[in-house]
Amino acid sequence: MQDVDTAVEVGADAIGFVFSAGPRRIDATTAARLGRRDRSTSCKTPTS
């Protein structure tokens, strides 16, 4: 998805996905695939 690539390229700290019904909804499998696209530059949620 071009939006994810662009967000990573411009240095976004985070990206979000919409799981509720609506025109921007994606399923969890697609979100997981997009989140794995470039592990070297993607950010992770900190754990406490």
Residue 44 belongs to a domain? no
* 3-state secondary structure at position 18: strand
- Give the pLDDT confidence score for residue 44 in this predicted structure: 53
Look at 43 and 8; give whichever has higher pLDDT.
8
How does residue 22 score in pLDDT terms, banded at 50, 70 and 90? very high
How does residue 29 score in pLDDT terms, banded at 50, 70 and 90? very high
Distance, CA of 37 to CA of 35 (rounded, Å): 6
Total domains in the chain come to 1
Residue 30 belongs to a domain? yes
- Give the pLDDT confidence score for residue 36 in this predicted structure: 79
Residue 46 belongs to a domain? no
Summarize the confidence of residues 17-33 as an average pLDDT: 93
